[in-house]
Structure 1
């Protein structure tokens, strides 16, 4: 009788910033373990958006390979449409409570169905908003691993916060300049901590359920015996100090990133523009001359913010490519019949672009970013300096890594109303693209880190070795 095959089930929360790194890891596992099965799963709503032309009856066998080794199977969050934005401050927390219950139940049914089909799961890999996935796996005797899609530094902050340091942060959470010292980490102000630890601890807060979910996640990891496995979308060279701060007694932390798409195999839950005229536009620009601007898949901006941003970009005198989500683009138009592109002299505004491809283009000279971790890693890999405009979640800590630890960017200042003014846009772009020595140093460091990270990702590099160690360990457990 043959031994069962390795089978990785990669489970992710239905946000683009979670789906992208989770799917990239699933493909990496698929390539690293040629005999293994891999199943990628997110909610039914997100699954339908990823595969709009494919049937989705809860038992589909969408496969990326002729041999069926990689499958895409959804689980249910208990809703027909997923979370629908609402001004009700309790709406998101109510959705998350329902999601946890329905998701755990549906995920358990998925695991059982795979076993009944002769494809038993041997390892569950889940992203950071799904602590219940580990509980479902444990109940069935299946080992699990957390895939942490933020930097190790943020994981270390959360770990220490929920292991004896919550009090000092809570006491000073309304004092952004207060300096917090956590074991093994560089001192940082309250303003640089993840926003869910300072803005979402009260049950009435809109994102309170994210705070409690992260708390539950840390508690779930503590239950694992002898210790939990945490895969991290980073490389050890980028975060030597933070890795030491986490320690090895409680967690087996394996940096396996940056995990980027290979070729054109990324997937999105957003409508994509197949007309890549922006690439032709970039082809016509000189090397290192274009400012690329994107604030991520969740960002929404008021008309004033957009006006200031575009005015600053225009006044910089440099060509720019700016991504403005479809629902935001309308805010740019005083007259619905006016074409945005006709109002711009130096730049192009698009609703979507292939960010990895854009950042890799020789014409890109800097990236104005919200500092979501995916965007930061993609920029580091491409060797592109950053102008950091963090808003929430891990973005503030990520910006500190970019500016203070790696010295590959500058942090923009917003006014008291949270608006990034045109003059600040111009100043920051010049700080990384201008002719002064400071700008040249930022560009030099960006190129230096590009080489370091490229080596880590390559065959035999630190991240490659860590991923293979995880695969080999999972294989021995089958």
Structure 2
């Protein structure tokens, strides 16, 4: 096999870094050279960079290297494209000058312009889709020129519902990625970016889309995308929790946040399957009213819980820096190793925002989900979790105020932590998909074979 050198590019956001860096680790272990790239300011914030033969790191300027400028995100994305494209070309030239010419660019969500750079310098490129195949199928349905998607040439059309895709459930307004809706604050710049992603793939005579999922989980969604060169290579999760080939690979690495250290001892003291784990991801800051409803549901349920609450400027300093108990019933931490927690025998269910990384991680750990989606593709993920895979339940939002009330959360907890028929069925389902995920990444499994086929195709 040809010796490849991949430049793999990610935004400096934890949910983007984790799967992207895991792919870089997997490719390095397969005998290729990988250079993981993010922005200068983002790179400075990374902790615990994995040290693996063949894996290297670099950064490019986005025009805001000191992080001082507070920009509208849409304006920032335009600047990133303008400044980043030139600096990426310079990096590629530097790597070639050092005797390590790049053979393929791999870019992630929001970096659609990298495909244009690749075409300009005659390099192959691949899009790493870090959301689900189902979300990608929705994007393809709406943005495809070949299929006359309603958003293929304009952003000014109101979508009609339900959206119907072959062999999948009907998708209502509350089931699709939120930024596809005209009233979403991110739609004005996200819709053009997603259009660019999909049409890049359609215009490429040899499209390559790597997607962080596995065949048996999203078989029907992958079938919809079969003609655009899609290749399932997931779950992109540290090896120690999957195939076990690299037992030292117990974390993604490149953490943006410092984790607490003493929660494992607390978990060790709890009975098997008794603890409720609560975490709403690295981006969305949950409303104070929603936090209070979650807290009261947990306290009233009298189940032990571990809750990750990220610090913000408004938080009390002591609560930011210390782990503290709540009448002995629970523990709140500012950050933790999610895989380490989900694989702990004491965890009984996961109250989650249902970001795609968290959804996959809970599946691999065999832990049922209670979904409290906040934004983006999270609505689509919980739709599939509840209605297709049967691996969790969605906590229903109160129409006025958009808050999930404590009574609804307690109902969900009783289903997943109780011994009723529905809870038992959900636990059986999630364990089934856990085993299928393990099979996919083993030698000869679908994701293992797909990654090798991708390498051979370059």
> Normalized against structure 2, the TM-score is what?
0.91
Q: Are 2:33 and 1:37 aligned?
A: yes
**Aligned equivalents of 1:123, 1:433: Cα separation in 2:** 47
CA-CA distance at 1:460 after TM superposition: 1.3
Partner of 1:359: 342
Partner of 1:186: 169
- Structure 2: which 5+ residue stretches go unaligned? 240-248
**Aligned equivalents of 1:338, 1:241: Cα separation in 2:** 45
> Any conservation in 2 of the 1:63–1:71 contact (CA below 8 Å)?
no
**Aligned equivalents of 2:354, 2:298: Cα separation in 1:** 19
Q: Are 2:43 and 1:64 aligned?
A: no
Q: Are 2:384 and 1:398 aligned?
A: no
Partner of 1:453: 437
Shift of the 362–105 alpha-carbon distance from structure 1 to 2, 3 Å rule, reads: same
Q: Are 2:296 and 1:311 aligned?
A: yes
CA-CA distance at 1:365 after TM superposition: 0.4
Q: Are 2:188 and 1:208 aligned?
A: yes
> Any conservation in 2 of the 1:123–1:143 contact (CA below 8 Å)?
yes
Query: What aligned pairs does 1:381-460 form with structure 2 within 5 A after superposition?
Result: 381-415=364-398, 416-460=400-444
How many residues end up aligned between the 2 structures? 443
The alignment yields a C-alpha RMSD, in angstroms, of 2.5
**Aligned equivalents of 1:84, 1:235: Cα separation in 2:** 40
User: Secondary structure of the equivalent of 2:59?
Assistant: coil
> Normalized against structure 1, the TM-score is what?
0.87
Partner of 1:236: 215
- CA deviation map 1:9-34 (0-9, x unaligned): 111122111111000000000112x2
CA-CA distance at 1:85 after TM superposition: 5.8
Q: Are 2:264 and 1:279 aligned?
A: yes
User: Secondary structure of the equivalent of 2:75?
Assistant: helix
> Any conservation in 2 of the 1:295–1:369 contact (CA below 8 Å)?
yes
CA-CA distance at 1:209 after TM superposition: 1.6
Partner of 1:122: 103
Shift of the 289–253 alpha-carbon distance from structure 1 to 2, 3 Å rule, reads: same
Partner of 2:253: 267
Shift of the 167–41 alpha-carbon distance from structure 1 to 2, 3 Å rule, reads: closer
**Aligned equivalents of 1:192, 1:328: Cα separation in 2:** 32
> Any conservation in 2 of the 1:366–1:432 contact (CA below 8 Å)?
yes
CA-CA distance at 1:338 after TM superposition: 12
Query: Which one of the candidate residues 170, 195, 198 is aligned to 1:218?
Result: 198
Shift of the 153–379 alpha-carbon distance from structure 1 to 2, 3 Å rule, reads: same
Query: Which one of the candidate residues 58, 72, 75 is aligned to 2:60?
Result: 75
CA-CA distance at 1:301 after TM superposition: 2.1
